Amino acid sequence: MGSFSEYFDAAMRFAAYEEMEENEGWFGTIPGFDGLWASGPDEEACRKELRSTLEDWVLFSLQRQMPVPSIHAIDLNLRPSEAA
């Protein structure tokens, strides 16, 4: 198990960004995180928004005992014996 910060840093290394057509800004996703995306007027703003969205997505999922992807052997999911 790793820290939340290590997990978020590791996940962000997989982030992919795409400039949208006609100067509509940037769009970012992280493979394996279904439904997680962010946008911003430039790549750096998109990166910051994606990190914030990732943090919210993970915390929301964990609070509802929904699994989150493991990243580089960092597994934030609770085992049944840890959930009690």
pLDDT tens string 50-68:
999 999 999 999 899 889 9
Q: What is the CATH number of the domain that holds 22?
A: 3.30.160.250
The residue ranking higher by pLDDT, 84 or 33, is: 33
> What's the confidence (pLDDT) of residue 2?
60
pLDDT tens string 2-38:
689 999 999 999 999 999 987 789 999 999 999 999 9
> What's the confidence (pLDDT) of residue 81?
60
- What is the domain count for the chain? 1
Q: How many whole angstroms separate alpha carbon 81 and alpha carbon 84?
A: 6
Q: For residue 46, what are the domain limits? A: 4-83
Q: Which residues contact 61 (CB under 8 A, 6 or more apart)?
A: 67, 68
The pTM for the full model equals 0.85
